[in-house]
Amino acid sequence: MNLGKFSYEIKPSPTLALNSKAAELKRAGKNVIHLGGGEPKWYAPETAIKKAMEMLETRVVRYTPVSGIPELKDAIVDYTFKYYGKKVEGKNIIVSSGAKQALMVALLAILNPGEEVIFPAPFWVSYPDMVKLANGTPVPVLPNSSDLQITFDEIKNKVTEKTKAILVNTPNNPSGVVYEAAEIEKLVKFCEENEIFLIMDDIYRELIYDGLKSPNGFEFSKADINSSYVISINGVSKQYAMTGFRIGWAVGAEEVISAMTRIQGHQTSCPSAVSQVAALGALQGGEKEAEELRRSLVKKRDILTKEIAKIEKARLIFPHATFYSFVDFSAYEKDSHKLAQFLIENAEVVTIPGKDFGIDGHLRISFCGSEEELIEGISRINEALQKI
C-alpha cells in the first residue's frame, strides 16, 4: 500500500514488540518470564474504583471539558502544591489520556518543524519518535559517567540555535537513576534565561526510595508560573498502578496549556470521563495503596540487587527509584539486541535491549513482577550467560 512517507519513519515501540513476542511464546507453551514490564502488578486504589463505579452506575458518561473536569484539576492543583511546592491554578493544567498524550501535545504545541529537543540517554524509548511525530529533531545526549548521571554541561554542549526544548526524565526510565538537584537547578536557570522549554517528565516522581527526593523543575524556577518555561508531566499510571485508566497531566504556563488544549480538542476531545473520576479518587484517597506499592517495590529492588550480584560480570546501576534497573552486560555481549534475543532463546526470559534506550551493552530488567519470577528469571539469565 502506498502510505504516507512519514508513517515508515516511525518505529513500533520496541517494548510493546517484545510484549507480543513474550505472549506468542507463552501461547506456544513456553515457560516465559517477562522481566521487561513497564507497569506495577498492583491494584488500583479502592477510592479510584469506587468513584468510577459511582459514575458508571448513573449511566451518564459524557464528554468532559477538553482539558479535564474541574474537580480533577483542583485535585491536581493541590497535588502540585503538596509535592512540588508550586501554587498553580486550573488554567495551568491539562488532563490528557496518559502522560504520553500530555507529552505529545506539549511537543506539538511548542515545536516548529526542524526544531531540536535535547534529552539525556538512557531515554524512554518513545521520546525520539514522539519528537519526530511533532516534526522536531531528537537530540540525545550521552552521559560521560558510568553511573548515568547527566550533567548540566553535557546537556548545554548540545544546545544550538535550533534548540527549542530540553526533556528530562527523573527518576529515569530505564535506569532508576535520580538526577542531581544541582544539575537540574542549573538547567532551570539556563532554560529560563534562554527561553528554552524544560519539559520535566515526572511520571516516576513518587516511586522513589531510600529517603531520596527527585528534584523538580518548579522548585528552582524564579519565574511566575505563567512566564515559566518549565512544563511538568505527571499522572496516575505508575504511582497508583493505574496504567489502563490512561490519565496523565501537564502543568505549565497558561499560554502553553491553552495551546495544548486546542490541539488535544481536535485529537481526542477529552480524556475518558470514567478514568478522570477514577484519577480523582486516587488523588483523594490512594495514598495508602501508593505507600504499599512503594514498600513492595523496595523489597523487590533488594531481591533484584542480590540476584544480579550473583552474575559475575554484570554491573548494576543501583536504582533508587522506579521499578527498572539498567544492567551493564557488555562484558558478555556488547550488542544488546543480540543479547536480549539470546536470553529469550536460551533462558526464556524477556528483557529490553539498552540500545533502544540509547545505550548499548545494557539490558533493562524490571522489578515490577512477582518476587518468584524475579529470582527465577535472573537465575536463568545467569545460567544462560555461562554459555557465552
Ligand X SMILES: Cc1ncc(COP(=O)(O)O)c(C=O)c1O
Q: Which of 37, 176, 215, 235 binds ligand X (CB under 6 A)?
A: 235
Is 201 a binding residue for ligand X by CB under 6 A? The answer is yes
The verdict on 237 binding ligand X (CB under 6 A) reads yes
Q: How many CA atoms lie within 13 A of 146 on its CB side?
A: 8
Instruction: Decide if residue 38 touches ligand X (CB under 6 A).
Output: yes
For position 44 contacting ligand X by CB under 6 A, the verdict is: no
Which residues inside 121-180 make contact with ligand X, applying CB under 6 A? 124, 169, 173
C-alpha cell at 346: 536460551
Cell numbers placing 161? 540555535
- Tell me the closest approach of the beta carbon of residue 120 to ligand X, in angstroms: 12
Q: Identify which of residues 184 and 347 has a Cβ nearer to ligand X in the complex.
A: 184
Q: Find the binder of ligand X among 100, 164, 301, 355 (CB under 6 A).
A: 100
Out of 36, 40, 45, 98, the residue judged to bind ligand X by CB under 6 A: 98
Stretch that binds ligand X, among 43-51, 94-102, 113-121, 209-217 (CB under 6 A): 94-102
β-partners of residue 137 are: 116
What is the spatial distance between Cα 213 and Cα 171, in angstroms, rounded to a whole number? 9
Q: Give the residue with the Cβ less far from ligand X, 202 or 373.
A: 202
177 versus 384: smaller Cβ distance to ligand X: 177
Amino acid at 264: Q
> Binding of ligand X at residue 364 (CB under 6 A)?
no
Examine residue 13 and tell whether it contacts ligand X (CB under 6 A).
no
Contact stretch for ligand X (CB under 6 A) within 92-100, 179-187, 221-229, 297-305: 92-100
Q: Which is nearer to ligand X, 122 or 347 (CB)?
A: 122
Q: For the chain, first and last CA: distance in Å?
A: 43
**Residues that contact ligand X, how many (by CB under 6 A):** 13
Q: Among residues 301 and 380, whose Cβ is nearest to ligand X? A: 301
Of residues 201, 145, 199, 150, the one with CA closest to residue 173: 201
Q: Tell me the residue nearest to ligand X as measured from the CB.
A: 98
Pick the closer one to ligand X by CB: 45 or 248: 248
* 353 is a site residue for ligand X (CB under 6 A): no
- Distance, in Å, from the CA atom of 24 to the CA atom of 344, rounded to the nearest integer, reads 12
Q: Considering the rule CB under 6 A, would residue 217 count as an interface residue with ligand X?
A: no
Question: Helix/strand/coil (H, E, C) string of the chain?
Answer: CCCCHHHHHCCCCHHHHHHHHHHHHHHCCCCCEECCCCCCCCCCCHHHHHHHHHHHHHCCCCCCCCCCCHHHHHHHHHHHHHHHCCCCCHHHEEEECHHHHHHHHHHHHHCCCCCEEEEECCCCCHHHHHHHHCCCEEEEECCCCCCCCCCHHHHHCCCCCCEEEEEEECCCCCCCCCCCHHHHHHHHHHHHHHCCEEEEECCCCCCECCCCCCCCHHHHCCCCHHHCCEEEEEECCCCCCCHHHCCEEEECCHHHHHHHHHHHHHHCCCCCHHHHHHHHHHHHHCHHHHHHHHHHHHHHHHHHHHHHHCCCCCEEECCCECCEEEEECCCCCCCHHHHHHHHHHHHCEECEEHHHHCCCCEEEEECCCCHHHHHHHHHHHHHHHCCC
CB-wise, 127 or 329, nearer to ligand X?
A: 127
Side-chain-side CA neighbours of residue 341 (13 Å): 8
The region of 2-10, 64-72, 97-105, 375-383 touching ligand X under the rule CB under 6 A is 97-105
The single residue among 19, 135, 226, 243 that binds ligand X, judged by CB under 6 A, is 243
Which stretch in 63-71, 96-104, 264-272, 340-348 sits in contact with ligand X by CB under 6 A?
96-104
Question: Is 202 an interacting residue with respect to ligand X (CB under 6 A)?
Answer: no
Contact 281, 49 (CB under 8 A): yes
Using CB under 6 A as the binding rule, whether residue 358 contacts ligand X is answered as no
The stretch among 41-49, 93-101, 145-153, 212-220 that binds ligand X (CB under 6 A) is 93-101
Q: Kindly tell me which residue out of 248, 252, 271, 369 binds ligand X, with binding defined by CB under 6 A.
A: 248
Tell me which stretch binds ligand X (CB under 6 A): 98-106, 142-150, 347-355, 376-384: 98-106
Taking the least distance from each CB to ligand X, the nearer of 314 and 321 is 321
List residues near ligand X by CB under 6 A: 38, 98-100, 124, 169, 173, 201, 203, 235, 237, 243, 248
